[in-house]
């Protein structure tokens, strides 16, 4: 799944929940900051750079999917020494 760039002040796309018997599913990955935006400390929800929407039939499946998605999402951060890839969480 590719990410959707929402950017600061952007509109989130509509996402629908799956059927009750659907397997755990990643519905969307949303990039909330503009490309090349400066990232600062995470002090409130507005400071987030990325979020995702998931659903699953049970809380246990939801937790397992969240863990897999968190492990898979990466940010590329430009620093003076070059690009550095870091976990998003």
Q: Express each pLDDT in 17-34 by its tens digit.
A: 889 889 999 999 999 888
pTM, entire model:
0.75
Q: Which residue has the higher pLDDT, 66 or 7?
A: 66
Judge whether 54 and 62 are in contact, CB under 8 Å. Answer: yes
Residues 6 or more apart in contact with residue 71 via CB below 8 angstroms: 87
pLDDT at 22: 92
Residue 48 pLDDT grade (very low, low, confident, very high; cuts 50, 70, 90)? confident
């Amino acid at each position: 799944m590719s990410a959707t760039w929402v950017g600061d002040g952007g509109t989130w796309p509509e996402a629908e929940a799956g059927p009750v018997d659907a397997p755990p599913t990643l519905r969307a990955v949303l990039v909330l900051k503009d490309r090349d935006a400066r990232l600062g400390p995470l002090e409130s929800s507005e400071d987030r750079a990325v979020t995702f929407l998931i659903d699953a039939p049970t809380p246990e499946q939801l937790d397992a999917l969240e863990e897999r998605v968190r492990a898979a999402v990466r940010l590329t951060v430009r620093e003076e020494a070059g690009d550095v890839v870091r976990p998003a969480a």
